Structure 1
Amino acid sequence: MNIKISNIAKLPTKYGDFKIQSFKENDKEHLVIFKEPLLNDVLLRIHSECLTGDALGSLKCDCQAQLHHALKLISKKNGMIIYLRQEGRGIGLFNKVNAYELQDRGFNTIEANHQLGFETDLRNYEIVEYILNYYKIKKINLITNNPSKIKSLEKFEVLHRIPSITPKNQYNLNYLEIKKESLGHFL
């Protein structure tokens, strides 16, 4: 892996004061948001970018709510969020918008990806191992509902899984049901 690492900067937020550092992997610039001290049993959220949810507040998903839930937890107990630049389960923003249009026509999130010629989930978590090793973290309390994220951390000791249960709404009910039924999420 050819990784460039930025300096560490302060990041004051409505949830408290954090620090940020970027890890540039080829054309992807991932972000680590953390609150020290980073103990060996760090509280961790691996969050994949969702511009429509995280920044625009889309109600079609639960991404923003999960991100904010993690920020609140970490502000109280210390830990980190690894924010991965893999929009739309790895298909990119352009294709995600096309998948949204297919969802508007009745396809679910997985079917829409398949209609566009993509696998269900193209995300890759290799950079997470690199980042955790960089910070010398071996034991994790993982904030997730996603069994794939737990599996991706098999080289680390996952002490606890902390659920990230967020409010449902009329726009994300089907999305959450698909995550539970087809992807095995703990919802």
Structure 2
Amino acid sequence: MNIDISEVANLPSRFGDFKVKAFKEGNKEHLVIYKDALDEIPIVRVHSECLTGDAIGSLKCDCRDQLEYALKLAEETNGIVIYLRQEGRNIGLLNKINAYALQDKGLNTIEANHQLGFGADERTYEMVTYILHHFNIHKIKLLTNNPDKVNSISDIEIVERIPIIMQSNIHNKDYLNVKKDDMGHLL
């Protein structure tokens, strides 16, 4: 892997005071948000970019709620949030919006991705291993509901999977049910 790595910078936020470091992989720039004194076996959240949820507050997903919960937990436990630039389960923003339009016509999230020629989930997690090794971390507590993340993170011992359950709303209830029933998420 040819990865460019930024310097470390301070990031005071409404969730706490963090350190940040960016990792550039090709045309994707990932961000690691972490506490200066990491726990020996840190809680790690691998969060895939969701512009509509994370930045705009879309109610179609639970991404922003999960990100904010993870940042609060990282502050409390000296943990890490790895923010991967894999918008729309790695189909990109344009295709994600096209998938939203198909969902508006009655397709579910998986059907919409398939209609656009993509798999249900195109994300990969090799970068997670690279980042954790960079920080000399070999054991983690993984904050996730996604069994694919657990199974896809290699060469790192996951000593515990911690669920991250958020409240549903009328706009994301069906989406969350598809994640649970069709994608195997542990909700």
In the alignment, what sits opposite 1:127?
Answer: 127
Where structure 2 has 5 or more consecutive residues not aligned to the other structure, the ranges are: none
Residue by residue over 1:92-120, the C-alpha shift from the partner in whole angstroms, topping out at 9 and shown as x without a partner, is 00000000000000000000000011111
What are the equivalent positions in structure 2 for 1:157-176 lying under 5 Å apart? 157-176=157-176
SS at match of 2:10: strand
Letter in 2 for 1:160: E
In the alignment, what sits opposite 1:88?
Answer: 88
Deviation at 1:33, TM superposition (A): 0.4
Q: Where in structure 1 do 4 or more consecutive aligned residues deviate above 2 Å?
A: none
**Number of residue pairs aligned between Structure 1 and Structure 2:** 187
Deviation at 1:81, TM superposition (A): 0.6
Where structure 1 has 5 or more consecutive residues not aligned to the other structure, the ranges are: none
Deviation at 1:56, TM superposition (A): 0.3
In the alignment, what sits opposite 2:108?
Answer: 108
In the alignment, what sits opposite 1:8?
Answer: 8
In the alignment, what sits opposite 2:37?
Answer: 37
> 1:50 & 1:120 partners in 2: Cα distance?
16
Letter in 2 for 1:93: L
SS at match of 1:171: coil
Deviation at 1:182, TM superposition (A): 0.6
Deviation at 1:156, TM superposition (A): 1.3
Q: Scaled by the length of structure 2, what TM-score is found?
A: 0.98
> 1:162 & 1:78 partners in 2: Cα distance?
15
> 2:10 & 2:164 partners in 1: Cα distance?
26
Deviation at 1:40, TM superposition (A): 3.4
Q: Percent identity?
A: 59
Residue by residue over 1:22-81, the C-alpha shift from the partner in whole angstroms, topping out at 9 and shown as x without a partner, is 000010000000012123311100000000000000000010000001011111111101
> 2:186 & 2:154 partners in 1: Cα distance?
18
In the alignment, what sits opposite 1:26?
Answer: 26
Q: Supply the RMSD in Å over aligned alpha carbons.
A: 0.8
Tell me, yes or no, if the aligned pair for 2:34 and 2:81 is still in contact at 8 Å. yes
Q: Scaled by the length of structure 1, what TM-score is found?
A: 0.98
Tell me, yes or no, if the aligned pair for 2:39 and 2:77 is still in contact at 8 Å. no
